[in-house]
Amino acid sequence: MEITTYRRHSANCKHKDDRYHPRCGCPLWFQFNWSQPATTLEGNKLRRGQNKWAAETHIWSEAQTKAKQLNSNLEALLQGKPVRQNVTVKAAVDEWLEFRSTNGLDNRKADLMGRKAHRVVRKERCRSS
């Protein structure tokens, strides 16, 4: 699958005529075509046809590394292999609490510990939600 890395320039960028300029500080994006039915991958909607996703970096070499990872994840998805999903602390705690309540377990202490974990992650400025 071909993934194109390009820049989305700001209105006042002096390189806005060249979407592939390597040293501009504008954000990088990925563009690719998906021929399968719509689904999600790493929390992003994957639509049939053209997709444009933010690379979440301004550095070309980082974007190329992320593009390779995205390509391998897309290929794995095409082959039906499991793809590692990013899970936030909040989502993991919520899933754990739901599992406990479904199985008739008491959630008082579990809820307290989950909220505490979420506070620690927020304090350390990790991705938590």
**Residue 67 is assigned to a structural domain of this protein:** yes
Domain count along the chain: 2
What's the whole-model pTM score? 0.63
Question: Are 16 and 63 contained in the same domain?
Answer: yes
Phi-psi map region of 47: left, alpha, beta (phi>0 left; psi -120 to 50 alpha): beta
User: Rounded to an integer, what distance in angstroms lies between the CA atom of residue 54 and that of residue 66?
Assistant: 10
Q: How confident is the model at residue 129 (pLDDT cuts 50, 70, 90)?
A: very low
What range defines the domain where residue 111 resides?
Answer: 89-123
**Residue 26 is assigned to a structural domain of this protein:** yes
Instruction: Give the tens place of pLDDT for each residue, 30-84.
Output: 999 999 888 888 778 899 999 999 999 999 999 999 999 999 989 988 888 776 6
Average pLDDT rounded to a whole number, residues 17-21: 90
Question: Taking CA 107 as the corner, what is the angle to CA 127 and CA 111, rounded to the nearest 5 degrees?
Answer: 30
